[in-house]
Amino acid sequence: MRKRLVISLIVLALAGGAAAYVLTRKDPHASKGKVVLSDAKAPLAKLEPAKLDELEIIAPPEGAPAGAPVHVKLKRKDPTSWQVVEPFSDTASPDAMQLALEGLGGLTWRRPVADSVEAMASLGCDDLKGVHIVARGGGAVLGDLYICGELDRARLAASSQVWETAGLERWRLAKASAKEWRHLLVAEVPTEEIATLTLHNPGGALTVARRPPPDGGSGDRWHVVAADPALAAVDQGLLEGLAARLARLTATDVAEGVTDADTGLAAETAWLEVKTTGGGGIKLVLGKDAAEQTVYLRKVGSDRIYRVAKDVASELARAPRELMSRRVGAAGLTAFTIDAAGERWSVRKSGAAWQAAGQQADASKLADLASKLESLTAVGIASPAPDAKTFGKPAATITLTGADGLHTLRIGAVKDSSRYLARDDGTVFLIDTQAADPLTKAPSTYLH
């Protein structure tokens, strides 16, 4: 019994010693000199963004473990703007500069955590992984430091001492390429300031106007002023999306060494013009396809030629037909007829109720069907339009009488998860099968 007690005491002592070792052993990257507490004097005076007039940044490409470093030099032009001077000359991105200056101004040195060349390498505080920043002001170097690859670590370029820091994240300064420091904002037109918007391209021409927000927040915001080919209404969601794009239109790069003739911009075959409520506006001209899935673009009045992403260019150069309203139902519906599966039902609104002529029907089901027909919306416009055999024998024919007159809809063949739907103005839509299929059945099966 006594022997077991002694063994237990020895085991406890060993366990306690191991725990003490784990808790007290030094960090392998800890300073070998005197430990400086968190309130120690910082190795660098606080950087004041307003006093900085030049930045030089050398960093590995963001998102890549290795590769040629991105080296840029930026100089202040005036109190509110900067210029890229190397590796090219151009206006610097206000957004990129704000992020960089806010980070430098917020840099806080907390405490040293290591002091060796080996620690510099392992913590990414060297030229291979670190972001080297030289900040100047008034002709003097105000800061020469490395932001480490390791989170919240930095050191002065002249020292091997690595510090724990806060406030300056490396993503504020490390970019995928030098062009990300370039000012690539093409247009900035707040949606509420747009009065009219005109698109002109090989697909036709369309001018829409923006109404002020209606009382109660309902109703169409955009209405057609002129359209060729004729267009009665536009898709509100697509127009809102286009307006949002123009609120902050950014290019992917500036195209250098090219002319309007090279890029197809001289012909002005596709353009978009915005006029604002204050009497101003912009006109954007789109040209040929460029490299890396981009399209040339120029803002009228500027010599600069941009490259914008191809999907953005497609959004700016939509043909009027592509912006057509997807709503195929009839607003203010007062009567409808469904001819499907050998049955023909005529339904009319009488007061607040719906009645089917010569048929017994559930009043609530009739009202629900009328509501669905009134708000019936397509998922897209068929392009190219299908051939005539698609509607040779329609799965259903529906006539709608609403506030804007009489319309006839024909439901045709299935395409993927949709059905073709032809409207009497010649437009062929695609409508979701979940909305279309019930309408192809005998009305008696779902109205009784």
What's the rounded mean pLDDT across residues 277-297?
Answer: 96
- The answer to whether position 32 is within a domain reads no
Check whether residue 143 and residue 228 sit in a common domain. Answer: no
Check whether residue 170 and residue 249 sit in a common domain. Answer: no
- pLDDT-derived band at 9, boundaries 50, 70, 90: very low
pLDDT at position 63, please?
A: 59
Residue with tokens 């606080």: 46
- The answer to whether position 16 is within a domain reads no
Which tokens belong to 240? 């809102």
Strands 380-381 and 428-432: antiparallel
CA distances to 1, 289, 362, 428 from 213, in Å: 89, 38, 39, 31
pLDDT at position 235, please?
A: 92
Eight-class DSSP state of 372:
H
Q: What is the pLDDT of residues 353-403, one digit of tens each?
A: 999 999 999 999 999 999 999 999 999 988 787 877 777 789 999 999 998
- The answer to whether position 15 is within a domain reads no
Check whether residue 319 and residue 193 sit in a common domain. Answer: yes
Alpha helices in 384-426 (DSSP H): none
| DSSP one-letter string for 43-86 | SSPPP-GGG--EEEEEEPPTT-SSSSPEEEEEEEEETTEEEEEE
Q: What is the pLDDT of residues 127-183, one digit of tens each?
A: 888 999 999 999 999 999 999 988 899 999 999 999 999 999 989 999 888 988 999
pLDDT at position 427, please?
A: 87
Determine how many CB atoms are found less than 10 A away from the CB of residue 112.
22
- The answer to whether position 21 is within a domain reads no
Least confident of 22-36, 87-101, 321-335, 433-447: 22-36
Check whether residue 197 and residue 279 sit in a common domain. Answer: yes
Averaged confidence pLDDT in the chain: 87
Q: Domain containing 53: what range? A: 49-181
Query: Of the candidates 158, 181, 204, which is a domain's last residue?
Result: 181
- The answer to whether position 222 is within a domain reads yes
Q: How many domains does the chain have?
A: 3
Check whether residue 284 and residue 197 sit in a common domain. Answer: yes
pLDDT at position 404, please?
A: 82
Least confident of 218-227, 361-370, 424-433: 218-227
Eight-class DSSP state of 377:
B
pLDDT at position 185, please?
A: 92
* CATH code, domain carrying 277: 2.60.40
- pLDDT-derived band at 10, boundaries 50, 70, 90: very low
Residue with tokens 């981009």: 294
Instruction: Report residue 8 CA to chain centroid gap.
Output: 65
Check whether residue 119 and residue 176 sit in a common domain. Answer: yes
- The answer to whether position 226 is within a domain reads yes
- pLDDT-derived band at 23, boundaries 50, 70, 90: very low
Check whether residue 201 and residue 177 sit in a common domain. Answer: no
d(CA 351, CA 190): 44
The percentage of the chain sitting over the pLDDT mark of 90, rounded to a whole number, equals 74
**3-class DSSP state for residue 326?**
coil
Eight-class DSSP state of 393:
S
What's the rounded mean pLDDT across residues 55-63?
Answer: 85
pLDDT at position 214, please?
A: 63
Query: Which is more confident, 62 or 354?
Result: 354
Check whether residue 249 and residue 298 sit in a common domain. Answer: yes
Contacts of 298 (CB under 8 A, 6+ apart): 260, 263, 265, 284, 285, 287, 304, 305, 306
- The answer to whether position 6 is within a domain reads no
pLDDT at position 31, please?
A: 42
Which tokens belong to 107? 């840099």
Check whether residue 305 and residue 405 sit in a common domain. Answer: no
What's the rounded mean pLDDT across residues 242-246?
Answer: 96
- The answer to whether position 11 is within a domain reads no
Strands 281-290 and 335-340: unpaired
The percentage of the chain sitting over the pLDDT mark of 70, rounded to a whole number, equals 88
The identity of residue 18, as a single letter, is A
Check whether residue 93 and residue 69 sit in a common domain. Answer: yes
d(CA 336, CA 285): 46
Eight-class DSSP state of 234:
B
For residue 429, pLDDT over 60 is answered with yes
Angle 178-181-186 from CA coordinates, rounded to 5°? 120
For residue 27, pLDDT over 50 is answered with no
Phi and psi at residue 72, to the nearest 5°: -130, 150
Query: Of the candidates 181, 209, 235, which is a domain's last residue?
Result: 181
For residue 294, pLDDT over 50 is answered with yes
Check whether residue 287 and residue 406 sit in a common domain. Answer: no
CB 368 within 8 A of CB 374: no
Check whether residue 74 and residue 136 sit in a common domain. Answer: yes
Query: Of the candidates 323, 351, 382, which is a domain's last residue?
Result: 323
pLDDT at position 217, please?
A: 54
